Amino acid sequence: MDDSILLAHGSGGKLSHELVEKKFLPFLANPALNRLDDSAVFEASGRMAFTTDGYVVNPIFFPGGDIGKLAVCGTVNDLAMNGASPLYLSLSAIIEEGFLLSDLERIMQSIKKAAEEAEVSIIAGDTKVVNRGQADKLFITTSGVGTIPTGVDISGANARAGDKVLLSGTIGDHGMAIMSQREGLKFSMTLESDCAPLNKLVSQMLEVSSRIHCLRDPTRGGLATTLNELARQSNVGIAIEETRIPVKEEVRAACELLGLDPLYVANEGKLVAIVDPADADKILARMRRNTYGREAAIIGKITKEHRGKVAMKTKLGPSRIVDMLTGELLPRIC
């Protein structure tokens, strides 16, 4: 094989088979995938969750991850936000002619590592090659399925007045890591993506309480947009406090330099939980015992006032309405 992708790798012929056998299967091999049938066969029972997504992040390699890790974690997290235990993923790679095989191997290794951490199997996939200039190196699409435990009912429409709003950690890490890499910005401290699978954190939260009403990962549009979505879905108001929202100093400094608000910057390894107030403290304590929840905090509560809106008490004392993101703050962030 050459050292880069050729159009013939997408022909369905010998090179296509070699690409799958030498660059995909060594990293993703499992009994269901190894059959190389046109669809995967698996067993499952009970309530199921299903999701699908596409990843076009630019650049494809960034501090803390790459497009492969992002694809696995993003799909796993979408399932986890319904309380599901992810089981299986499919993965499709759309590759530009000329893409380096060494970079493909690096990404496949990252996919393998992320899937192992999340304890999911990639059991179906596809590859396509497009002409040089008709894509930007590599795009990945994924789908995922998982099972929802009995008694779990998590939805963006389930928030109730009095509920507490929990955040699993610092915001803006992913978006600013992408932006600094894309623009070649240098800071005294490295900005690193928070890209991570959150399914085990969610399962641990559910171990201590079944009264978790809403879960959402604040990706594109950031924390502000996610909270607005939840307020509208549940027809409630959300009141948060600026001083309780964790932001790394290097992220805050980068946002100030670029004129951005951390509330609107994307995350890929954080979650927002809306929970029964009686269980909030024990859920928070369990979150803080997990690697991905060490900086978790209670940042606000659900109210009957200003339904469908988010109000934030600022550092100076007065409150202001935090609206949903309008326009595209940071394009191709995931």
Q: How many residues does the chain have?
A: 334
> Could you check whether the bond before residue 218 is cis, i.e. omega within 30 degrees of 0?
no
For each of the domains in the chain, give its residue range(s) and CATH number, in order of start.
7-147 (3.30.1330.10), 164-321 (3.90.650.10)
Q: Residue 123: phi, psi to the nearest 5?
A: -110, 0
Angle between helical axes of 67-80 and 101-118 (0-180°, round to 10): 30
Query: Does position 333 have pLDDT exceeding 70, yes or no?
Result: yes
Percent of the chain with pLDDT over 90: 91
Which tens digit of pLDDT belongs to each residue from 79-99?
999 999 999 999 999 999 999
Which tens digit of pLDDT belongs to each residue from 284-309?
999 999 999 999 999 999 999 999 99
Which tens digit of pLDDT belongs to each residue from 153-204?
999 999 999 999 999 999 999 999 999 898 888 777 789 999 999 999 999 9
Please enumerate in sequence order all residues whose Cβ is within 8 A of that of 237, keeping only pairs 6 or more positions apart, or say none: 231, 302, 303, 304, 305, 306, 307, 308, 309, 310, 311
Angle between helical axes of 199-208 and 67-80 (0-180°, round to 10): 20
What is the reported pLDDT for 1? 52
Answer whether 333's CB lies under 8 Å from 194's CB.
no
Which tens digit of pLDDT belongs to each residue from 251-280?
999 999 889 999 999 999 999 999 999 999
Structure tokens, 205: 């939260």
- Tell me the C-alpha distance between 70 and 251, whole Å: 20
Query: Does position 104 have pLDDT exceeding 70, yes or no?
Result: yes
Which tens digit of pLDDT belongs to each residue from 129-154?
999 999 999 999 999 999 999 999 99
Mean pLDDT value across the chain: 95
